[in-house]
Amino acid sequence: MRPCIDCGRFPAKRSLGDRVTVVADIFADGHEQVAAVLRHRHETARRWREVPMRPLGNDRWDAAFEAEQLGLHRFSVRAWIDRFATWAGEA
Domain contains 2:
no
Where are any strands of DSSP class E within 1-91?
A: 19-25, 34-42, 49-52, 54-57, 60-66, 73-81
pTM score, whole prediction: 0.86
Domain contains 14:
no
Domain contains 42:
yes
Cα separation of 64 and 52, whole Å?
Answer: 9
Strand partners, 38: 51, 77
Residue 63 domain boundaries: 19-90
Read off the pLDDT of residues 10-60 as tens digits, 9 standing for 90 and up: 878 888 989 999 999 999 988 899 999 999 999 999 999 999 999 999 999
Domain contains 74:
yes
Cα–Cα distance list, 42 to 46, 57, 70 (Å): 8, 30, 9
Can you tell me whether residue 37 is helix, strand or coil? Answer: strand
pLDDT score at 91: 67
Domain count, the chain: 1
